[in-house]
Amino acid sequence: MTPGHPEGFMTTLRCHIATTQQQLDDALRVRWEVFGKELELLERTAHAVPRENNGFDTLATTAHVLVYADDVPVATARLLLPNPEVARATGSRLGIDLETKVDLSELGGPGLVFAETTRFCILKDWRHSAVLMWLYAGLHQESRRRGVTHWIASANTETDSAEDAHILFQVAAYQGLLSTRWRARTLTCPRAPEAPAAPFYTPEQRAHARQGRFEGLGLPPVLSLFSGKLGARFIAEPLYDARFRRFSLPLVSALQDVPTSTQKFFDKMTARASRG
């Protein structure tokens, strides 16, 4: 039994890779609950089915990781492995979703397998619980099983402000969080709103940044989690996603560079799941 519920109830947490239509539907429903209903980042047309989905969801090279609290799906993430069919159709190298926004042509090497991690979401009531690490542990285990060596992602900056997104990138550089090995180029992306609805920094913090003073300026929790717990490093300038109405910051994480403390935690969770 795992004390995963924020109210303290004893709940059994389980991590699954979707193998049934019902499990895939659970993943798409959780995504809608977070991105569409709670955060209101997606437009919903009349009579639309409350699911968040796109063409990558049903490819054989896609894996959906789900965490259940008892029998209720509470979190999901998606793993996109290289897809030759998509690569041929789009003229890209890997055939993953992020290549529509970022030039990843410089990423690669003998024996390296890159996969995109995307659509991370946890239901609000479970966001500050053990569910988060269960989700990452399941994603890590499935990635290892499929021979993945590196994760590629574009992490949510939690802002639609172009200036704040640029400052976030400068703060990451100041903190030594830019990759020294990999570089990628952000492709042409939609224009961000002139009047941001979700600023991240205060006017005083922006004034400090304009003067090149980055000490004391923080990063959003997702960026800190990726760089701290998973050893990720950022590889490109922020890009704006018109559908989700937020900037994100592209990154790469080598699975072998996951900090030892995190790896031990993953191993412990995997062992517990195999006994359960």
Which of these ranges, 58-62, 66-70, 184-188, 197-201, has the smallest mean pLDDT? 184-188
- pLDDT level of residue 45 (50, 70, 90 thresholds): low
Any idea what DSSP says for residue 18? -
What is the count of structural domains for the chain? Answer: 1
Please report whether residue 6 resides in a domain: no
pLDDT tens track for 228-242: 888 999 999 999 998
What are 247's strand-pairing partners? 240
Packed helices 203-210 and 162-174: angle between N→C axes, nearest 10 degrees: 60
Top-ranked range on mean pLDDT: pick from 11-15, 146-150, 253-257: 146-150
Please report whether residue 8 resides in a domain: no
Residue 270 CA to residue 59 CA, distance in Å, equals: 26
Which of these ranges, 55-64, 190-199, 213-222, 264-273, has the smallest mean pLDDT? 264-273
Q: What is the pLDDT of residue 2?
A: 45
DSSP of 129-164: STHHHHHHHHHHHHHHHTT--EEEEEEE-S---HHH
Check pLDDT > 90 for residue 264: no
Mean pLDDT of all residues belonging to the chain = 91
SS3 177: coil
Residue 118 CA to residue 251 CA, distance in Å, equals: 12
pLDDT tens track for 181-228: 999 998 877 899 999 999 999 999 999 999 999 999 999 998 998 898
Check pLDDT > 50 for residue 125: yes
**181 close to 231: Cβ distance less than 8 angstroms:** no
What are the helix and strand counts (H, E) for the chain?
7, 10
Please report whether residue 203 resides in a domain: yes
- pLDDT level of residue 163 (50, 70, 90 thresholds): very high
Please report whether residue 4 resides in a domain: no
**239 close to 101: Cβ distance less than 8 angstroms:** yes
Please report whether residue 3 resides in a domain: no
Q: What is the model's pTM?
A: 0.88
Residues with Cβ within 8 Å of 91's Cβ and at least 6 positions away in sequence, in order, are: none
Give 276: exposed, middle or buried? Use CB within 10 Å, 0-12, 13-18, 19+. exposed
CATH of the domain at 251: 3.40.630.30
Please report whether residue 2 resides in a domain: no
Task: Output the six-digit token pair for 234.
Answer: 């950022």
Range of the domain at 183: 13-275
- pLDDT level of residue 40 (50, 70, 90 thresholds): confident
Task: Output the six-digit token pair for 54.
Answer: 């796109």
